[in-house]
Amino acid sequence: MEFFMSFIENNAMIVSGVILLIAYIFIAIERIPKVTIALVGAAVTILLGLVAQSRGASEINPHYFANFIDFNVIFLLVSMMIIVHIAAQSGMFNFMANELLKHTGGRPMRILVALGIFTAIVSAFLDNVTTVILIMPVTFAIAKQLDIDPVPYLITEILCSNIGGTATLIGDPPNIIIGSKAGFSFMDFIYELTPVVIVIMIVTIAILVMINRKRLTTTDDKMEAIAKLDNSHTIIDKKLATRSGVTLLLVILGFVTHDITHIETYLIAMLGASFLLLFEKPKEIFESVEWNTIFFFIGLFIIIGGLEASGAIKVMADWLLNVTNGSESATAMIILWGSGILSGIIDNIPYTATMAPLIYHIQQVEGVAYAHPLWWCLSLGACLGGNMTIIGAAANVIVSETSNAKGYKISFIRYLKYGVAFTFIALVLSSCYIYIRFLKG
């Protein structure tokens, strides 16, 4: 036993790397739930002593496994899930979508633009899965009334949910990880990413309109029916809508004013969630929290913690700097394009969780100014790369499975034609933005 533990200790980098690699492979294969894979990997990491089992008696062991779990991320995710679920119960989001659609006059191409913009904006403040779940029933109903194929609308929603989610701290889980590790505020994401996200959105929707302009046609009477859509009974509970709507706005205001108040985003979200729970049955609300996602994060943080504690993250960071000869531009482009391509193939959450400590180490070696654009390259690549394949992000999978179940097949290859093209365009635009904004001169 002593020989075995000595072997593990002497080869900690290799062992922790193998555990992470195996976890990646099983996550990609999708035969076993990814939360199970993450928790098994975490348990093995602790059992083998790659991170410490106990916190220590007199002083906290720096390798204690709990030290590697980013509770800022965990509490922010849980709190936002609670707020969004309670708000959605009122019907307020469906009301907003219907009001927007009424103003399109029922014209198919205007509807495509409206759905794209609505999905992107909502995805910037709610998680992408919740956004597409809210908008899909509206999409199918509209397509049925117009007697047209809903797939162009659904593909638009997939693309726009991932693009919109890139714009803010809370829009996509990779950004939450990056914000916590780099110490970025909600407004940092708005200042640095929203401009390029708006450009990418405009280009994406413009191309989608060009592609679908001849496919999406209908009759005048069917368009008129959409323009006269009755939205008076969409909000189920007006008191709940008011309460949750005001709370959500105050939470977002709290995020925006973080630089003034210095109250952490996770705490602001917790205060909002706690207030809404005063009027609800907590047991029922907590059943709606995606605990699979939460424990997936916890397990993942522990696995990455083993890699970090072994020194492997430092070695990887040094290797990247050596390969690029310390060139900030070369390092930035490798991270941006590597993140974009890999996030289309593997889950962008474990990828970001692995890369964040690596960039943090580069920051410690080269300085904050050098690493600053690298964080935004990671965010843009990881979030936008989710558009590449139908399995690139959870929202993609939800939309495709729902569409297939309703008889409108979105196959892997059919989506890939869109995904690769739009991801390439987004990464090119991101590269130009990163160079002009951070690297030029």
Residue 107 pLDDT greater than 70, yes or no: yes
Residue 258: the pLDDT is 86
- Judge whether 73 and 313 are in contact, CB under 8 Å: no
Residue 217: the pLDDT is 79
What CA–CA distance (Å, rounded) separates 207 from 200?
A: 11
Band of pLDDT at residue 148, cut at 50, 70 and 90: confident
90-104, 279-293, 325-339, 422-436: least confident range: 90-104
Residue 98 pLDDT greater than 90, yes or no: no
Residue 59: the pLDDT is 67
Band of pLDDT at residue 58, cut at 50, 70 and 90: low
- Read off the amino acid at residue 395: A
Residue that wins the pLDDT comparison between 91 and 423: 423
Which residues share a beta bridge with 64? 52
How is residue 138 written in tokens? 């509206």
Residue 381: the pLDDT is 96
Residue that wins the pLDDT comparison between 376 and 65: 376
Name the average pLDDT for the chain. 89
Per-residue model confidence as pLDDT tens digits over 344-361: 877 788 889 889 999 999
How is residue 72 written in tokens? 């800022």
Residue that wins the pLDDT comparison between 251 and 348: 251
166: number of CA atoms within 13 Å, CB side?
Answer: 35
Residue 137 pLDDT greater than 90, yes or no: no
CA dist list (Å): 178 to 63, 148, 174, 184, 268: 21, 41, 6, 8, 18
Per-residue model confidence as pLDDT tens digits over 167-223: 999 888 899 999 999 999 999 999 999 999 999 999 999 999 999 988 887 777 878
Which among 106, 88, 87 is positioned nearest to 98, based on CA atoms?
106
Residue that wins the pLDDT comparison between 306 and 29: 306
Contacts of 335 (CB under 8 A, 6+ apart): 355, 359, 374, 377, 378, 381
Residue 262 pLDDT greater than 70, yes or no: yes
Which among 25, 59, 20 is positioned nearest to 42, based on CA atoms?
20
Q: Percentage of residues in the chain with pLDDT exceeding 70?
A: 99
Residue 62: the pLDDT is 77
What CA–CA distance (Å, rounded) separates 120 from 106?
A: 20
Band of pLDDT at residue 94, cut at 50, 70 and 90: confident
Per-residue model confidence as pLDDT tens digits over 285-315: 998 888 988 898 899 899 999 988 888 888 8
Q: Give pTM, 2 decimals.
A: 0.87
pLDDT, average across residues 51-80: 84
What CA–CA distance (Å, rounded) separates 360 from 376?
A: 13
pLDDT, average across residues 65-88: 89
Residue 252 pLDDT greater than 70, yes or no: yes
Residue 441 pLDDT greater than 70, yes or no: no
Residue that wins the pLDDT comparison between 294 and 129: 294
Residue 173: the pLDDT is 87
pLDDT, average across residues 237-253: 94
Band of pLDDT at residue 377, cut at 50, 70 and 90: very high
Residue 57: the pLDDT is 62
The gap from C-alpha 323 to its chain's centroid, in whole angstroms, comes to 29
